[in-house]
Structure 1
C-alpha cells in the first residue's frame, strides 16, 4: 500500500475569495470551478487553488509566495501587464535593479514573483513553477516523506521537493526564518492515498513530526495539523 498523502489543493485565505479566484484564474490561464472559489488545474501535474474566506488581517509578508516563469523578456512583460490589468500591483521588497525577477502583489497584497527567462532551476516546472517560502531543512524533509516527493534540492539548509510527475516545486529557504505571527495565509490540503485509512495516515504524519491542532482552520471533513515548523495543513479523510 502506498503510504503517502496526496496534495489536494493549495488553500489560500482571502477577504474576497471569489474576486481573488478570478484574479488568479485570469493570471494563470485557468478556469474557476462552479463554487467560484476554486481555480482548477489544466492538467494532472497542476493542483487546484482553493480560496477560503477569512476576516483575519495580514500581519506580515506571506510565509509562502508563488513563482511564475517566463519564456522570453516579452513573455515576462506580458505576464506583468496581465497581472496589473487584473488588479495586481508592483511591490518593493528591497529587490535590486539588476535582479531579473519582478515582484508583484495580487489585489489583496499577496506577494508573487515573475521570474526572468532562462532560469535553469525552474526549467520544466511549468508556468506556476514554485511555492517558495521560509522553512527549515527539517520541514523540507518532512514534506518529502509526507507526500512521497523526492528532494530535488538539498544544499546549505535550503530544500525543495517536486512530484515524480513533474510540475511545481515546493521550496524552503532555510534560516533565518521569519518568526510566525498568527495563522499562515496559505496552507496545503492533503488526503490519504487511495486505499489508505485516514486515521493511519494521520498517525504516520504524527510519527514524521507533525502535530495535531485543536482549533480547526479546516473544513469539517478534515483534521487540522501542523508541520515541524508549525505551519498549518489540513488532512481530509478521503480524496
Structure 2
C-alpha cells in the first residue's frame, strides 16, 4: 500500500485570485476553476499520471488568515540572478516580505497575497531537477517520527534524517522533496495549508484509510460534511486529505 502526494491545498478568501498568483509564480496555468475551487498545474498535466508533479489547489473559505501555518512551499532557483528576478516578479504579483525570525539567511521569505508564507531559495544543487517547487516543508516536533510515518505512507525514499530535519522524495526521483523541520511552535489550530494524497489506480480508499490509522493517523473532522475525500491527521495532528482514486 502507498499513496501519491498530488497537491498542496491552500484555503483562501478568494480562490481565483490566489490561484492566479500561484500560477504566475510557478510558471504554470490555472487548469480548472469553479465555484470556490481553483487548481494550478503545469501545461500537459494529467491527474492520473503516477509521475505527475505536486500541484496547487486553492479552496475558498470565509475565515481570514491569522496564524503562521505549519506547511509552506520552498521555491527553487538556478542562479543568484534568477533568485533576484523571481523575488522581484513575485513582489510585482502581490507578494510581500515576511519576517518569521529567519535572521540573515541566503533565502528570501515572502508572503503571498493572502498571507501564506513561502521561501525563495538561493541556488542549491539538490533542487536542480525538482521543478519550480523545491520542497513542501512541514514544521513539526519530531522530524524522525514524521519521516517514518510519511515515508511509509507514500513509499518515498528518505534522503536525510537528523534531530532537526528530515528530507524525503519520491522513489522515482521526480518532483519536490517533502521536508520536516523541527520547530518549537505547537499546532493549536486547523491549518489553512495541507497535503492532499490519492491512492494509486486500483487501490481502495477505505483500505488505505485503515492502513494509515494503523500507522498512527487519526480521523479528523474539519467541518467537511459529506464529501468523497476523507480527512485524517498525521501523528502530530496535521490534517491531510485522501482523495478518491481517479
TM-score by length of 2: 0.88
Structure 2 unmatched runs, 5+: 46-50
Give runs of aligned pairs for residues 173-212 of structure 1, distance below 5 A.
173-174=181-182, 176-212=183-219
Change in Cα spacing, 1:69 to 1:48, as seen in structure 2 (3 Å) is closer
Contact 1:59 1:181 in 2 (8 A): no
Contact 1:153 1:161 in 2 (8 A): yes
Match of residue 70 from structure 2: 63
1:20 to 18, 21, 28: 18
Structure 2 Cα separation of the partners of residues 81 and 219 of structure 1: 43
Structure 1 Cα separation of the partners of residues 197 and 112 of structure 2: 25
Change in Cα spacing, 1:104 to 1:181, as seen in structure 2 (3 Å) is same
Confirm whether residue 227 of structure 1 aligns to residue 226 of structure 2.
no
Task: Give aligned pairs, total.
Answer: 234
Contact 1:216 1:224 in 2 (8 A): no
Change in Cα spacing, 1:132 to 1:214, as seen in structure 2 (3 Å) is closer
Match of residue 42 from structure 2: 41
Greater share of strand residues, 1 or 2?
Answer: 2
Structure 2 Cα separation of the partners of residues 221 and 4 of structure 1: 19
Structure 1 Cα separation of the partners of residues 226 and 112 of structure 2: 25
Match of residue 170 from structure 1: 178
How many Å apart are 1:181 and its aligned residue? 2.5
Give runs of aligned pairs for residues 150-165 of structure 1, distance below 5 A.
150-165=157-172
Change in Cα spacing, 1:141 to 1:219, as seen in structure 2 (3 Å) is farther
Match of residue 108 from structure 2: 102
Match of residue 133 from structure 2: 128
Structure 2 Cα separation of the partners of residues 162 and 216 of structure 1: 31
How many Å apart are 1:58 and its aligned residue? 2.6
Task: Name the Cα RMSD after superposition.
Answer: 1.8
How many Å apart are 1:96 and its aligned residue? 2.9
Match of residue 90 from structure 2: 83
Confirm whether residue 113 of structure 1 aligns to residue 114 of structure 2.
no
